[in-house]
Every structure is written in C-alpha cells, then in structure tokens.
Amino acid sequence: MAAVIAALAAGCAVVAVFLSGDAVRPDRPDLEVALVAAASVLAALLAFGKARGTRIASAIFAAGSAGWAIHCLSTDIGSGTPGSSTGVLAVAAVVTLVATGLTARSAARPLRWWLAVPLVVALAAGTVAAAVIVPAQAVRSMTAATVAAPAIADRVTDRPWKWTPPTEVRDAVAAGAGVVVGGVDGDVTALDGPTGAVRWTYARPGARLRALVPTPDRLLLLAVYGGSGRDHLTVLDAFTGAPVQETLIEEVSGADLLAPTSTVLPSITYLGDDNFRVNALDLRTGKELWTWTAPQGCVSPFALPASGRDVVLAPLLCPDRLSVLGLDERTGTSRWEHKLPVTRPSDEKADYYLHSALDGGTVSLSLRYAGLASGAGTDVVLDPANGAVVSTMDPKAPKRITLGPVAIAERTTDGKVTAATLDGGVAVDLAACPARRAQATTPTAYLRLCVLPGGALVVHRQELDGSPASTLPVDWPPSTDSAGTLNSGFARHALLPAPGALVAVRGGATPVIGYPAG
C-alpha cells in the first residue's frame, strides 16, 4: 500500500512538470522541475522492490527529491513571481518521502488504512492547495473603493504634501485618482492626488518591477515584473488596485517598449527578413484579440511601439510606398494610412520614430528612407482617431508631444538645447532654468524641475499667455550619485501633472512631493 501511495505521489510530481512556472520558470517543461519529478518516480519504482537495499535507495532518492523540491519552491516564492508547478512538486515529493519511509514497515505487515487514507487525503488536498495558494502567496495587496477622478492638476498651491516610500522609488505615473509609485522591492502604491494619502497597495516582494504604465485613459495600470526570459504582467484597476488579469509576456527592458491603447497591449513577433507581425492582447481578459501581418509583397519593419487611444500603429514598407497604419484596437483592421510614395527600392533600412501623447490624443511620426520620392510628410503630428495631419515638424527640431497637452520643439547643438518653442509660438525662457532635471506641460504652462546655482531644486512655471513666471520650492535632501534611476525614461527625476496634484519624484530613497491643485 505504501508503494502504491508513493506511485500516486510521483504521478502528481509528473503533473507538476506541465503546470505553470510563471515568470521565474517560463518554460514547460522546466528542466529542474523535470529532474525532481524524475527522482520522485525513481523513488516510487524502487519502493516496489523486495530487497532491503532497494527500499533504502528508494528512501534516499525520495529524500533528495523532497529537499530539492522544497528548495525550488522557496526560490520561486522569493522571486515574487511563482507559478503552481513547484508548489505541487513539493507536496508530491514530501508525500513520496513519507510513503517510501513506510515501505520497510509495510514489507513485514501491510500498511493499515488509517495510515494510508490520511496520506492520500494529504496528497490530494495539498496538491490542490499548492496550485492555488503558492501563486497568491507572492502577493501583498490592499484595495480601495472606487472614486471619481480629480481633474489633472494645472494651477497648484504652494503647500505640498510629502510621502515617504517604504522602499527606493523606481517608477511613478499619473493614473486613477492621483499618482502611482513603484519601488525596488516590487511594491506599487497609489497616492490620492489632493491629499497624498495611500489609497491602495500591490506588491510582489523580491520581484523586480520592470515597468509601470497606465493606459491612455488612466483607468488601468500595467505592472510588469521581471522573470527569466519572460515577464509577468499584472493589469490593475488604477482606482481600486484590484488585479484585473495576469499573464506572461515577452521580456521587456522598460516602460519605453510598452504602448497600450485603452483596452489592448500591442506586441510584435519577428517573422524573418525584417518583417514583424503585430499582436494585440486584451488587457481585461488576457486573450489575444487579433494579429496583423503586412500584405503580400510588403514587410512591417520593427518600430518602437506607440499607440493612440484606440488605435495601434503599424509600420509598412512596400515597393511603392512607406506607410504607418492605424489599426483598430478591437479588430486589427486598418482605419487609416499615412503613406509616402517610394520611387525606387533601397537596401537602406527604413527608420520609424513613433511617439504618442500621454492621453493618446496625438501621435508623431518621423520616417526615414532613401527611396522616398520627396521629403514631404516625413515629420508630422497626426490625430490617431482618423489619421488627419494636425501639424508638421521641423526634422531638426521634432516636437516633444510626450510631455503633456502642449508640444515642445527643441533645437540642440552637441547635445545641448539652444532654442525651444512651445505650441502657439511661445519661446521657452532657457535662462530661467539652466539645469533642467524634468519637464512637463499643462494646458496653460510649461513646467520644469530646475537646479539652482546653490544646488536647491524648484519647479519653474512659465505661463503660455506671457504672464510672469513663478517657482515652487522642492524640499528634497541633497542628491547623491547613488540615487537610483526611474524605469520610465531612465532618468532620475520626473514631474507629473496628475489627477489632483502636480507630483515631483526622484529615484532612490527620496520622498514623493505633491502640490495639490489650487
């Protein structure tokens, strides 16, 4: 009877090989899990032997597999992204060890049912519990009630709130009812814009937070945790912090490679010959909605992803044209095409520089290809809803549309900004902020986080209507060279016009400061 129970437990270990290992073990079967399962199977087979030495060998193999399985489980939980495989494996290996330990006794006298039944029950209940509990064990969370979102802060007070993060800051974005801050230990905290109070938390202790990205409507938040070759994506409700869905995605190096629409996350798959397929993942269900490939005779070269509110941008190169398509987020069908005529094929690579505004209301395109008929239409800002040209850009001073509702065109020389103009023709006062750390725009102002000659930091506000400029002091301790960088943009500082407050953030162990809307 004990040998039979060992065989049942070894069977559960084999099942564990094919269960999810999440981001820490993205491959199925995982080699380490498979080896532990094989050791459990060998231990179970030896348990049927008659010789005493065979049964001792069975117990030794079972003990080794149990210790190895527990080590795998501990490692996976410590990673912050465990799957169900190692939890089930650990339960199966421990039951195998107990069963093989009883085989010597059962050789002289059959194992009584009152000992066999608890083992079978423990195996069944433990397997089910491990499959459910282990993935959830990695998460620490507190949710909140949904509220109406305050308006994005424009004019603010000079009486800021301050919040000290539990770990060093790695990311911060405007979403939900305020700002959401990500830390180095996998923690994500949502702060109320007007007050700075903690609204909700979500954490995977031990996991590396690779990216924190809101959807253009700021209703959902994408939290990406690093794994081994693949990453764990958790989609959170930005107002309540409740997980909407979770899935594995291809490894990303940062927020700059994620460009969700309001409801889908686009990604690309390499097909060979400089051609990529576009895929769309439904953010609420985790299902793949559609895929798109270039038509026959054309290719879709790689481009950094960018999206509008409800369209996915896809590059296209054909013998007669160079294009960017606006694909409907729900169907993948082309809603519009911005195309430039090609007069001759070229071996030169086509370059696409695509950027979208924070709210997805505009997108900018800069296209480069040697075979173009002319330079017209290569640098434009489009309305992603219909592809209409909103404005053109100077190739030597492309517009920065990612800073807020007002675009900035900057001219640089040797990496230094020599002139800058805001939409509407307002010249930026460069002398007012000689050392800029971060920047943003609101409908009425251009904001910069500036370092004064003495080392103090201030938020400088230049009014778009020509009114006198103003500053707000930023009460931070002196910066050190060890201050961490932020995932978004790989800079040390961020200035975020968020719902209810203007928020200043610095990477590392620095308080987050918010200036409530006036």
pLDDT tens figures, 181-213: 999 999 999 999 999 999 999 999 999 999 999
pLDDT of residue 113: 58
Mean pLDDT for the chain overall: 91
Contact 98, 119 (CB under 8 A): yes
pLDDT tens figures, 117-147: 887 888 899 899 999 999 988 899 999 999 9
Task: For residue 124, give every residue at least 6 positions away whose Cβ sits within 8 Å of its Cβ, in sequence order, or none.
Answer: none
Q: What is the DSSP letter of 21?
A: B
Contact 185, 177 (CB under 8 A): no
pLDDT tens figures, 412-455: 888 889 999 999 889 999 999 989 999 999 999 999 999 988 88
pLDDT of residue 478: 78
CA-based R_g, the chain, Å: 28
The total number of structural domains that make up the chain: 1
Q: Quick check: is 245 in a domain? A: no
Domain that holds residue 83: 1-138
Q: Quick check: is 496 in a domain? A: no
User: Which amino acid appears at position 449 of this protein?
Assistant: L
Average of per-residue pLDDT across 88-102: 90
pLDDT tens figures, 46-68: 888 778 788 888 889 999 999 99
Q: Quick check: is 184 in a domain? A: no
Q: Compute the distance between CA of residue 491 and CA of residue 437 in angstroms, rounded to an integer.
A: 8
pLDDT tens figures, 134-189: 998 889 999 999 999 999 999 999 999 999 999 999 999 999 999 999 999 999 99
Q: Quick check: is 502 in a domain? A: no
- What stretch of H or E contains 213? strand 209-214
Task: For residue 272, give every residue at least 6 positions away whose Cβ sits within 8 Å of its Cβ, in sequence order, or none.
Answer: none
End-to-end CA distance of the chain: 76
pLDDT tens figures, 475-513: 998 776 556 778 866 688 999 999 999 999 999 989 999
Give 280's strand partners.
Answer: 266, 290
Task: Please tell me the number of Cα atoms within 13 Å of 397 on its side-chain side.
Answer: 16
Residue 397: C-alpha distances to residues 261, 413, 419, 425 (Å): 27, 11, 9, 13
Indicate whether 104 pLDDT > 60.
no
pLDDT of residue 344: 82
- Higher-pLDDT residue of 68 and 4 is 68
Contact 226, 23 (CB under 8 A): yes
- What stretch of H or E contains 497? strand 493-498
- Higher-pLDDT residue of 70 and 105 is 70
Q: Quick check: is 498 in a domain? A: no
Q: Quick check: is 118 in a domain? A: yes
pLDDT of residue 480: 66
| 100 confidence band (pLDDT: 50, 70, 90) | confident
pLDDT of residue 401: 94
Lowest pLDDT segment from 41-50, 64-73, 75-84, 319-328? 41-50
